[in-house]
Structure 1
Amino acid sequence: MPTLEDEIRRLMADETARLHAAPDLAERVMRSSRSKRRRVRVAALATSVAVIAAAPIGYLTVGSVAMTGQEPTISVVPEPPPIDDTPPVPTEPPNLGDLGDGREFGHVRVGYLPERLQWSQRSVDNGDRYSITYNYKGDDKGSYRVQIHMYEEEAVQEVDDQIQAYRGEEDGEGVTVGARSGYLVVQNVGEDGMKGTPTLFLRMGDRQWAEIMFSPVYAEEFSSAEAVDAELKRIGEGLTSTM
Protein backbone atom coordinates (compact mmCIF):
# COMPACT_ATOMS: atom_id res chain seq x y z
CA MET A 1 0.00 0.00 0.00
CA PRO A 2 1.50 3.41 -0.95
CA THR A 3 2.41 5.68 1.92
CA LEU A 4 1.07 9.17 2.39
CA GLU A 5 4.32 10.67 1.10
CA ASP A 6 4.24 8.48 -2.01
CA GLU A 7 0.71 9.62 -2.73
CA ILE A 8 1.68 13.28 -2.30
CA ARG A 9 4.64 12.81 -4.65
CA ARG A 10 2.38 11.27 -7.29
CA LEU A 11 -0.20 14.05 -7.08
CA MET A 12 2.49 16.77 -7.12
CA ALA A 13 4.20 15.16 -10.11
CA ASP A 14 0.91 15.11 -12.01
CA GLU A 15 0.27 18.74 -11.11
CA THR A 16 3.83 19.71 -12.03
CA ALA A 17 3.51 18.13 -15.40
CA ARG A 18 0.27 19.99 -15.98
CA LEU A 19 1.63 23.36 -14.86
CA HIS A 20 5.17 22.85 -16.15
CA ALA A 21 6.51 23.43 -12.56
CA ALA A 22 9.98 22.42 -11.45
CA PRO A 23 10.32 18.64 -11.52
CA ASP A 24 11.68 18.50 -7.91
CA LEU A 25 8.82 20.54 -6.48
CA ALA A 26 7.20 17.54 -4.78
CA GLU A 27 10.44 16.60 -3.06
CA ARG A 28 10.95 20.17 -1.80
CA VAL A 29 7.42 20.27 -0.42
CA MET A 30 8.00 17.03 1.50
CA ARG A 31 11.31 18.31 2.87
CA SER A 32 9.58 21.51 3.96
CA SER A 33 6.86 19.50 5.71
CA ARG A 34 9.41 17.35 7.54
CA SER A 35 11.40 20.47 8.48
CA LYS A 36 8.33 22.04 10.05
CA ARG A 37 7.67 18.90 12.10
CA ARG A 38 11.27 18.92 13.33
CA ARG A 39 10.90 22.57 14.40
CA VAL A 40 7.76 21.66 16.36
CA ARG A 41 9.59 18.83 18.14
CA VAL A 42 12.60 21.04 18.93
CA ALA A 43 10.34 23.79 20.26
CA ALA A 44 8.50 21.30 22.51
CA LEU A 45 11.76 19.93 23.88
CA ALA A 46 13.10 23.46 24.48
CA THR A 47 9.93 24.28 26.42
CA SER A 48 10.43 21.17 28.59
CA VAL A 49 14.03 22.14 29.32
CA ALA A 50 13.00 25.68 30.25
CA VAL A 51 10.39 24.37 32.71
CA ILE A 52 12.94 22.06 34.30
CA ALA A 53 15.47 24.89 34.70
CA ALA A 54 12.83 27.14 36.29
CA ALA A 55 11.67 24.57 38.85
CA PRO A 56 12.57 25.87 42.39
CA ILE A 57 12.53 22.62 44.36
CA GLY A 58 12.16 18.91 43.86
CA TYR A 59 13.06 16.81 40.89
CA LEU A 60 11.27 17.18 37.54
CA THR A 61 11.05 14.34 35.08
CA VAL A 62 9.94 14.70 31.48
CA GLY A 63 7.46 11.98 30.73
CA SER A 64 7.40 11.45 26.99
CA VAL A 65 7.97 14.28 24.54
CA ALA A 66 5.93 12.81 21.71
CA MET A 67 7.70 12.64 18.37
CA THR A 68 4.42 13.62 16.71
CA GLY A 69 4.39 17.15 18.17
CA GLN A 70 2.23 16.38 21.23
CA GLU A 71 2.67 18.44 24.42
CA PRO A 72 5.31 17.02 26.81
CA THR A 73 4.17 15.67 30.21
CA ILE A 74 6.08 16.69 33.33
CA SER A 75 5.87 15.05 36.76
CA VAL A 76 7.28 16.42 40.03
CA VAL A 77 9.00 14.04 42.46
CA PRO A 78 9.30 15.51 46.03
CA GLU A 79 12.86 16.10 47.13
CA PRO A 80 13.81 13.73 50.00
CA PRO A 81 14.19 15.41 53.42
CA PRO A 82 17.72 16.26 54.53
CA ILE A 83 19.47 13.74 56.74
CA ASP A 84 20.39 15.06 60.18
CA ASP A 85 23.47 13.12 61.26
CA THR A 86 24.15 15.33 64.28
CA PRO A 87 24.27 13.11 67.40
CA PRO A 88 21.76 14.01 70.14
CA VAL A 89 23.10 16.03 73.03
CA PRO A 90 22.57 14.22 76.36
CA THR A 91 20.45 16.20 78.78
CA GLU A 92 19.89 15.86 82.50
CA PRO A 93 16.37 14.95 83.66
CA PRO A 94 14.41 17.77 85.29
CA ASN A 95 15.21 18.20 88.97
CA LEU A 96 13.48 19.73 91.95
CA GLY A 97 15.76 22.76 92.09
CA ASP A 98 17.56 24.13 95.13
CA LEU A 99 16.32 22.13 98.11
CA GLY A 100 18.49 23.80 100.74
CA ASP A 101 19.33 21.04 103.20
CA GLY A 102 17.14 18.57 101.30
CA ARG A 103 14.74 18.03 104.18
CA GLU A 104 11.71 19.26 102.24
CA PHE A 105 10.93 18.49 98.58
CA GLY A 106 7.87 18.07 96.44
CA HIS A 107 4.97 17.37 98.79
CA VAL A 108 6.87 15.78 101.66
CA ARG A 109 8.98 16.85 104.62
CA VAL A 110 11.76 14.65 106.04
CA GLY A 111 11.89 14.74 109.83
CA TYR A 112 14.59 12.16 110.49
CA LEU A 113 17.77 11.11 108.70
CA PRO A 114 20.46 8.75 109.99
CA GLU A 115 23.60 10.40 111.32
CA ARG A 116 26.02 12.03 108.85
CA LEU A 117 23.67 11.78 105.87
CA GLN A 118 23.16 14.90 103.76
CA TRP A 119 21.43 15.77 100.53
CA SER A 120 23.56 14.62 97.60
CA GLN A 121 22.52 17.67 95.54
CA ARG A 122 20.75 15.29 93.18
CA SER A 123 17.02 14.93 92.57
CA VAL A 124 14.71 13.87 89.76
CA ASP A 125 11.35 15.41 88.90
CA ASN A 126 8.98 13.42 86.69
CA GLY A 127 5.79 15.13 87.77
CA ASP A 128 3.81 12.57 89.73
CA ARG A 129 7.05 10.65 90.40
CA TYR A 130 10.02 12.37 91.99
CA SER A 131 12.93 11.40 94.18
CA ILE A 132 15.89 12.62 96.20
CA THR A 133 19.06 10.91 97.43
CA TYR A 134 21.29 11.32 100.44
CA ASN A 135 24.91 10.33 100.96
CA TYR A 136 27.96 11.09 103.07
CA LYS A 137 30.13 14.12 102.60
CA GLY A 138 32.88 13.17 100.14
CA ASP A 139 30.86 10.39 98.45
CA ASP A 140 30.75 10.28 94.70
CA LYS A 141 27.79 12.42 93.60
CA GLY A 142 26.47 9.63 91.43
CA SER A 143 26.10 7.28 94.39
CA TYR A 144 23.59 7.22 97.23
CA ARG A 145 23.12 5.81 100.71
CA VAL A 146 19.40 6.52 101.10
CA GLN A 147 16.86 7.33 98.43
CA ILE A 148 13.28 8.51 98.93
CA HIS A 149 11.02 8.13 95.92
CA MET A 150 7.52 9.63 95.94
CA TYR A 151 4.49 8.47 93.94
CA GLU A 152 1.41 10.66 93.64
CA GLU A 153 -2.01 10.70 91.96
CA GLU A 154 -2.23 8.05 89.21
CA ALA A 155 1.35 6.87 89.84
CA VAL A 156 0.30 5.27 93.16
CA GLN A 157 -1.11 2.40 91.12
CA GLU A 158 2.48 1.38 90.33
CA VAL A 159 3.15 0.86 94.03
CA ASP A 160 -0.05 -1.14 94.48
CA ASP A 161 0.97 -3.38 91.59
CA GLN A 162 4.48 -3.90 92.99
CA ILE A 163 3.21 -4.80 96.45
CA GLN A 164 0.64 -7.23 95.02
CA ALA A 165 3.40 -8.90 93.02
CA TYR A 166 5.58 -9.29 96.13
CA ARG A 167 2.65 -10.68 98.10
CA GLY A 168 1.97 -13.18 95.33
CA GLU A 169 5.58 -14.37 95.55
CA GLU A 170 5.44 -14.37 99.36
CA ASP A 171 8.35 -11.97 99.32
CA GLY A 172 8.50 -9.30 102.06
CA GLU A 173 5.90 -8.48 104.71
CA GLY A 174 3.23 -5.96 105.54
CA VAL A 175 4.01 -3.60 108.42
CA THR A 176 2.48 -0.69 110.30
CA VAL A 177 4.57 2.44 110.75
CA GLY A 178 2.91 4.77 113.23
CA ALA A 179 -0.69 4.88 112.02
CA ARG A 180 0.22 4.13 108.39
CA SER A 181 0.42 0.86 106.52
CA GLY A 182 3.51 -0.19 104.64
CA TYR A 183 5.44 -3.06 103.14
CA LEU A 184 9.02 -4.15 103.84
CA VAL A 185 10.94 -6.04 101.15
CA VAL A 186 14.47 -6.49 99.80
CA GLN A 187 14.38 -5.60 96.11
CA ASN A 188 16.77 -6.45 93.29
CA VAL A 189 18.42 -9.42 94.95
CA GLY A 190 21.05 -10.63 92.48
CA GLU A 191 21.97 -14.20 91.69
CA ASP A 192 25.61 -13.15 91.71
CA GLY A 193 25.58 -12.70 95.49
CA MET A 194 24.31 -9.10 95.52
CA LYS A 195 22.33 -8.64 98.70
CA GLY A 196 19.69 -6.38 97.20
CA THR A 197 18.09 -3.10 98.24
CA PRO A 198 16.18 -2.99 101.57
CA THR A 199 12.99 -1.02 100.91
CA LEU A 200 10.00 0.32 102.83
CA PHE A 201 6.87 1.24 100.87
CA LEU A 202 4.81 3.60 103.01
CA ARG A 203 1.27 4.80 102.38
CA MET A 204 1.21 8.55 103.04
CA GLY A 205 -2.41 9.04 101.94
CA ASP A 206 -4.96 8.06 99.33
CA ARG A 207 -2.98 9.84 96.61
CA GLN A 208 0.58 9.50 97.88
CA TRP A 209 3.06 6.72 98.60
CA ALA A 210 6.71 6.86 99.63
CA GLU A 211 9.42 4.35 98.75
CA ILE A 212 12.42 4.53 101.10
CA MET A 213 15.50 2.58 99.99
CA PHE A 214 18.91 1.78 101.45
CA SER A 215 21.72 1.02 99.02
CA PRO A 216 23.25 -2.46 99.51
CA VAL A 217 26.53 -0.75 100.47
CA TYR A 218 24.83 1.35 103.13
CA ALA A 219 22.89 -1.64 104.49
CA GLU A 220 26.17 -3.40 105.22
CA GLU A 221 26.96 -0.75 107.83
CA PHE A 222 24.20 -2.10 110.08
CA SER A 223 24.59 -5.07 112.38
CA SER A 224 21.63 -7.04 111.01
CA ALA A 225 18.63 -7.03 108.69
CA GLU A 226 16.46 -6.21 111.69
CA ALA A 227 18.55 -3.11 112.39
CA VAL A 228 18.12 -2.01 108.77
CA ASP A 229 14.34 -2.48 108.97
CA ALA A 230 14.20 -0.48 112.20
CA GLU A 231 16.06 2.42 110.63
CA LEU A 232 13.83 2.35 107.53
CA LYS A 233 10.76 2.55 109.78
CA ARG A 234 12.26 5.42 111.73
CA ILE A 235 12.75 7.44 108.54
CA GLY A 236 9.19 6.56 107.54
CA GLU A 237 7.79 7.76 110.85
CA GLY A 238 9.47 11.11 110.34
CA LEU A 239 7.95 11.70 106.88
CA THR A 240 5.13 14.26 106.74
CA SER A 241 2.92 14.82 103.71
CA THR A 242 2.36 18.44 102.65
CA MET A 243 -0.32 17.66 100.04
Structure 2
Amino acid sequence: MPTLEEEIRRLMAEGTAGLHAAPDLAGRVVRSTRERRRRVRIAAVAASVAACVVVTPAVAFFTIGTTPTAGERSTFATAPEPPAIDDTPPMPSAPPSLGDLGDGREFGRMKVGYLPDGLEWSGRSADWGDTYQVTYAYRGDEKGSYRLVIMVYEGSAVQEVEQRITAYRDEADGKAVTVGGRSGYLVVQHVGEDGMKGTPTLFLRTSDSQWAEIGFSPVYAAEYSGAEAVNAELLRIGQGLTSTL
Protein backbone atom coordinates (compact mmCIF):
# COMPACT_ATOMS: atom_id res chain seq x y z
CA MET A 1 0.00 0.00 0.00
CA PRO A 2 1.53 3.33 -1.04
CA THR A 3 2.40 5.78 1.60
CA LEU A 4 0.78 9.22 1.82
CA GLU A 5 3.81 10.96 0.34
CA GLU A 6 3.91 8.61 -2.65
CA GLU A 7 0.19 9.20 -3.31
CA ILE A 8 0.68 12.98 -3.30
CA ARG A 9 3.57 12.75 -5.79
CA ARG A 10 1.46 10.58 -8.11
CA LEU A 11 -1.48 12.95 -8.08
CA MET A 12 0.82 15.96 -8.83
CA ALA A 13 2.44 14.10 -11.73
CA GLU A 14 -0.92 13.21 -13.26
CA GLY A 15 -2.13 16.81 -12.89
CA THR A 16 0.84 18.29 -14.73
CA ALA A 17 1.32 15.59 -17.36
CA GLY A 18 -0.67 17.52 -19.99
CA LEU A 19 1.17 20.75 -19.41
CA HIS A 20 4.17 21.51 -21.66
CA ALA A 21 6.40 24.60 -21.67
CA ALA A 22 6.32 26.53 -24.95
CA PRO A 23 9.50 26.09 -26.97
CA ASP A 24 10.25 29.87 -26.99
CA LEU A 25 9.26 30.41 -23.38
CA ALA A 26 12.80 31.09 -22.23
CA GLY A 27 13.45 33.48 -25.11
CA ARG A 28 10.22 35.33 -24.45
CA VAL A 29 11.06 35.68 -20.80
CA VAL A 30 14.48 37.11 -21.67
CA ARG A 31 13.00 39.44 -24.31
CA SER A 32 10.30 40.61 -21.91
CA THR A 33 12.89 41.37 -19.30
CA ARG A 34 14.99 43.25 -21.83
CA GLU A 35 11.96 45.22 -23.04
CA ARG A 36 11.06 46.26 -19.52
CA ARG A 37 14.64 47.36 -18.95
CA ARG A 38 14.68 49.31 -22.25
CA ARG A 39 11.44 51.10 -21.33
CA VAL A 40 12.88 51.98 -17.96
CA ARG A 41 16.02 53.37 -19.61
CA ILE A 42 14.00 55.43 -22.12
CA ALA A 43 11.82 56.85 -19.35
CA ALA A 44 14.91 57.77 -17.35
CA VAL A 45 16.55 59.51 -20.35
CA ALA A 46 13.33 61.39 -21.15
CA ALA A 47 13.07 62.56 -17.57
CA SER A 48 16.67 63.74 -17.53
CA VAL A 49 16.25 65.58 -20.87
CA ALA A 50 13.11 67.31 -19.61
CA ALA A 51 14.97 68.40 -16.53
CA CYS A 52 17.82 69.75 -18.66
CA VAL A 53 15.44 71.70 -20.90
CA VAL A 54 13.79 73.35 -17.92
CA VAL A 55 16.94 74.22 -16.03
CA THR A 56 19.61 74.71 -18.69
CA PRO A 57 18.32 74.65 -22.29
CA ALA A 58 21.79 74.58 -23.83
CA VAL A 59 22.74 71.32 -22.05
CA ALA A 60 19.95 69.36 -23.77
CA PHE A 61 21.51 69.96 -27.18
CA PHE A 62 24.65 68.07 -26.20
CA THR A 63 23.10 65.17 -24.27
CA ILE A 64 20.73 63.65 -26.81
CA GLY A 65 22.93 62.99 -29.79
CA THR A 66 23.09 64.98 -33.00
CA THR A 67 23.37 68.74 -33.23
CA PRO A 68 19.83 70.22 -33.45
CA THR A 69 18.62 72.31 -36.35
CA ALA A 70 17.65 75.96 -35.97
CA GLY A 71 13.99 74.92 -35.73
CA GLU A 72 14.79 72.38 -33.03
CA ARG A 73 16.76 74.94 -31.10
CA SER A 74 13.84 77.36 -31.20
CA THR A 75 11.58 74.56 -29.94
CA PHE A 76 13.72 73.61 -26.96
CA ALA A 77 15.22 76.96 -25.96
CA THR A 78 14.20 80.55 -25.70
CA ALA A 79 16.58 83.13 -27.15
CA PRO A 80 18.30 85.22 -24.46
CA GLU A 81 16.93 88.68 -23.91
CA PRO A 82 19.01 91.47 -25.49
CA PRO A 83 20.95 93.62 -23.05
CA ALA A 84 19.19 96.72 -21.79
CA ILE A 85 19.99 99.87 -23.76
CA ASP A 86 20.57 103.07 -21.85
CA ASP A 87 19.20 105.74 -24.17
CA THR A 88 19.80 108.55 -21.70
CA PRO A 89 22.12 111.04 -23.32
CA PRO A 90 25.28 111.73 -21.39
CA MET A 91 25.41 114.94 -19.48
CA PRO A 92 28.00 117.41 -20.86
CA SER A 93 30.92 117.99 -18.55
CA ALA A 94 31.56 121.49 -17.26
CA PRO A 95 34.30 123.38 -19.16
CA PRO A 96 37.47 124.36 -17.33
CA SER A 97 37.45 127.73 -15.61
CA LEU A 98 39.95 130.54 -16.07
CA GLY A 99 41.04 130.15 -12.46
CA ASP A 100 41.20 132.84 -9.79
CA LEU A 101 40.65 136.16 -11.56
CA GLY A 102 40.82 138.37 -8.48
CA ASP A 103 38.41 141.22 -9.14
CA GLY A 104 37.64 139.87 -12.61
CA ARG A 105 38.89 142.97 -14.38
CA GLU A 106 41.42 140.99 -16.43
CA PHE A 107 40.92 137.53 -17.91
CA GLY A 108 42.45 135.66 -20.81
CA ARG A 109 43.70 138.30 -23.21
CA MET A 110 41.18 140.96 -22.24
CA LYS A 111 41.09 143.84 -19.74
CA VAL A 112 37.87 145.39 -18.45
CA GLY A 113 38.12 149.10 -17.73
CA TYR A 114 34.53 149.89 -16.74
CA LEU A 115 31.79 147.98 -14.90
CA PRO A 116 28.34 149.34 -14.00
CA ASP A 117 27.84 150.29 -10.37
CA GLY A 118 27.30 147.40 -7.99
CA LEU A 119 28.51 144.66 -10.33
CA GLU A 120 31.45 142.44 -9.45
CA TRP A 121 32.96 139.24 -10.74
CA SER A 122 30.60 136.37 -9.90
CA GLY A 123 33.49 133.97 -9.33
CA ARG A 124 32.48 131.97 -12.40
CA SER A 125 34.18 131.67 -15.77
CA ALA A 126 34.48 129.15 -18.60
CA ASP A 127 37.32 128.38 -20.98
CA TRP A 128 36.74 126.52 -24.29
CA GLY A 129 40.17 127.46 -25.69
CA ASP A 130 39.49 129.91 -28.51
CA THR A 131 36.34 131.08 -26.72
CA TYR A 132 36.09 132.05 -23.05
CA GLN A 133 33.78 134.08 -20.83
CA VAL A 134 33.32 135.75 -17.46
CA THR A 135 30.07 136.75 -15.73
CA TYR A 136 29.32 139.57 -13.30
CA ALA A 137 26.55 139.88 -10.74
CA TYR A 138 25.45 141.76 -7.65
CA ARG A 139 26.89 140.63 -4.34
CA GLY A 140 24.44 138.15 -2.84
CA ASP A 141 22.84 137.15 -6.15
CA GLU A 142 21.73 133.54 -6.42
CA LYS A 143 24.56 131.25 -7.46
CA GLY A 144 24.53 130.65 -11.20
CA SER A 145 22.72 133.87 -12.06
CA TYR A 146 24.35 136.78 -13.87
CA ARG A 147 23.71 140.40 -14.79
CA LEU A 148 26.49 140.95 -17.30
CA VAL A 149 28.49 138.47 -19.41
CA ILE A 150 31.59 139.18 -21.49
CA MET A 151 32.61 136.48 -23.97
CA VAL A 152 35.79 136.63 -26.02
CA TYR A 153 36.31 134.93 -29.40
CA GLU A 154 39.76 134.37 -30.88
CA GLY A 155 41.37 132.52 -33.77
CA SER A 156 38.96 130.39 -35.81
CA ALA A 157 36.06 131.30 -33.49
CA VAL A 158 36.11 134.85 -34.93
CA GLN A 159 34.50 133.55 -38.11
CA GLU A 160 31.46 132.39 -36.13
CA VAL A 161 30.88 135.89 -34.75
CA GLU A 162 31.24 137.51 -38.16
CA GLN A 163 28.72 135.06 -39.65
CA ARG A 164 26.21 135.85 -36.89
CA ILE A 165 26.60 139.59 -37.43
CA THR A 166 26.13 139.12 -41.18
CA ALA A 167 22.91 137.19 -40.54
CA TYR A 168 21.57 139.94 -38.26
CA ARG A 169 22.46 142.58 -40.82
CA ASP A 170 20.77 140.65 -43.63
CA GLU A 171 17.60 140.48 -41.54
CA ALA A 172 17.83 144.20 -40.70
CA ASP A 173 18.01 143.20 -37.05
CA GLY A 174 20.20 145.52 -34.93
CA LYS A 175 22.57 148.21 -36.10
CA ALA A 176 26.26 148.79 -36.80
CA VAL A 177 28.16 151.09 -34.40
CA THR A 178 31.66 152.44 -33.92
CA VAL A 179 33.24 152.35 -30.46
CA GLY A 180 36.55 154.15 -30.02
CA GLY A 181 37.35 153.67 -33.69
CA ARG A 182 36.51 149.96 -33.54
CA SER A 183 33.60 148.41 -35.41
CA GLY A 184 30.73 146.87 -33.51
CA TYR A 185 27.14 145.76 -33.74
CA LEU A 186 24.23 146.32 -31.33
CA VAL A 187 21.39 143.78 -31.33
CA VAL A 188 18.88 142.12 -28.99
CA GLN A 189 19.47 138.36 -29.10
CA HIS A 190 17.38 135.38 -28.02
CA VAL A 191 14.03 137.15 -28.07
CA GLY A 192 11.51 134.52 -26.99
CA GLU A 193 8.11 133.90 -28.53
CA ASP A 194 6.76 133.56 -24.99
CA GLY A 195 7.30 137.25 -24.31
CA MET A 196 10.91 137.15 -23.13
CA LYS A 197 12.60 140.48 -23.71
CA GLY A 198 15.84 138.99 -25.03
CA THR A 199 19.48 139.81 -24.32
CA PRO A 200 20.76 143.28 -25.31
CA THR A 201 24.20 142.64 -26.83
CA LEU A 202 27.19 144.54 -28.20
CA PHE A 203 29.61 142.72 -30.51
CA LEU A 204 32.93 144.58 -30.62
CA ARG A 205 36.01 143.94 -32.74
CA THR A 206 38.78 144.39 -30.17
CA SER A 207 41.67 143.38 -32.47
CA ASP A 208 42.31 141.87 -35.90
CA SER A 209 41.94 138.35 -34.45
CA GLN A 210 39.60 138.97 -31.50
CA TRP A 211 35.98 139.88 -30.90
CA ALA A 212 34.13 140.52 -27.64
CA GLU A 213 30.44 139.88 -26.99
CA ILE A 214 28.95 141.93 -24.13
CA GLY A 215 25.47 140.95 -22.99
CA PHE A 216 22.96 142.10 -20.36
CA SER A 217 20.55 139.60 -18.85
CA PRO A 218 16.92 140.55 -19.51
CA VAL A 219 16.43 140.99 -15.76
CA TYR A 220 19.34 143.40 -15.53
CA ALA A 221 18.29 145.31 -18.66
CA ALA A 222 14.88 145.89 -17.04
CA GLU A 223 16.59 148.00 -14.35
CA TYR A 224 17.32 150.67 -16.96
CA SER A 225 14.89 153.24 -18.25
CA GLY A 226 14.75 151.77 -21.76
CA ALA A 227 16.66 150.46 -24.76
CA GLU A 228 18.53 153.72 -25.29
CA ALA A 229 19.90 153.70 -21.75
CA VAL A 230 20.85 150.02 -22.04
CA ASN A 231 22.71 150.61 -25.32
CA ALA A 232 24.58 153.58 -23.83
CA GLU A 233 25.80 151.40 -20.97
CA LEU A 234 26.85 148.60 -23.35
CA LEU A 235 28.84 151.10 -25.42
CA ARG A 236 30.51 152.44 -22.29
CA ILE A 237 31.60 148.92 -21.25
CA GLY A 238 32.87 148.28 -24.78
CA GLN A 239 34.83 151.54 -24.73
CA GLY A 240 36.67 150.30 -21.66
CA LEU A 241 37.68 146.92 -23.10
CA THR A 242 41.35 146.50 -24.06
CA SER A 243 42.80 143.54 -25.90
CA THR A 244 46.21 142.26 -24.77
CA LEU A 245 46.80 140.24 -27.94
Residues in 1 aligned to 2:196 and 2:58: alpha-carbon distance in whole angstroms: 66
Residues in 2 aligned to 1:49 and 1:127: alpha-carbon distance in whole angstroms: 65
1:93 to 2:90 alignment: no
Amino acid at match of 1:189: V
Deviates more, 1:35-44 or 1:230-239: 35-44
Cα distance, 1:202 vs. partner?
1.5
Write the deviation string for residues 170-227 of structure 1: whole angstroms up to 9, x where unpaired. Answer: 0111122224322111223345654432110122345432210122333344445333
Unaligned runs of 5+ in 1: 1-19, 54-58
Contact (CA 8 Å) 1:134, 1:146: kept in 2 or not? Answer: yes
Contact (CA 8 Å) 2:49, 2:60: kept in 1 or not? Answer: no
Residues in 2 aligned to 1:61 and 1:32: alpha-carbon distance in whole angstroms: 32
Q: CA 1:45–1:225 in 2, change beyond 3 Å: closer, same or farther?
A: same
Instruction: Give TM-score scaled by structure 1 length.
Output: 0.65
Amino acid at match of 1:174: A
Residues in 2 aligned to 1:61 and 1:153: alpha-carbon distance in whole angstroms: 62
Contact (CA 8 Å) 2:52, 2:59: kept in 1 or not? Answer: no
Using the aligned pairs only, state the percent identity. 55
Amino acid at match of 1:215: S
Deviates more, 1:33-42 or 1:154-163: 33-42
Residues in 2 aligned to 1:165 and 1:26: alpha-carbon distance in whole angstroms: 104
Deviates more, 1:195-204 or 1:32-41: 32-41
* Bigger Rg over Cα: 2
Q: CA 1:113–1:92 in 2, change beyond 3 Å: closer, same or farther?
A: farther
Contact (CA 8 Å) 1:44, 1:65: kept in 2 or not? Answer: no
Which residue of 1 is the match for residue 9 of structure 2?
none
Equivalent of 1:202, from 201, 204, 208?
204
Which residue of 2 is the match for residue 241 of structure 1?
243
Q: Give the aligned CA root-mean-square deviation in angstroms.
A: 4.1
Cα distance, 1:159 vs. partner?
1.9
1:29 to 2:26 alignment: no
Which residue of 2 is the match for residue 70 of structure 1?
65
1:102 to 2:99 alignment: no
Which residue of 2 is the match for residue 14 of structure 1?
none
Contact (CA 8 Å) 1:63, 1:72: kept in 2 or not? Answer: no
Instruction: Give TM-score scaled by structure 2 length.
Output: 0.65
Equivalent of 2:58, from 47, 61, 74?
61
Write the deviation string for residues 8-34 of structure 1: whole angstroms up to 9, x where unpaired. Answer: xxxxxxxxxxxx964251463365267
Residues in 1 aligned to 2:211 and 2:62: alpha-carbon distance in whole angstroms: 75
Aligned to 2:25, what secondary structure does the other structure show?
A: coil
Residues in 1 aligned to 2:166 and 2:60: alpha-carbon distance in whole angstroms: 67
Write the deviation string for residues 134-170 of structure 1: whole angstroms up to 9, x where unpaired. Answer: 1222333333221112233443333233212211210
Residues in 1 aligned to 2:121 and 2:33: alpha-carbon distance in whole angstroms: 98
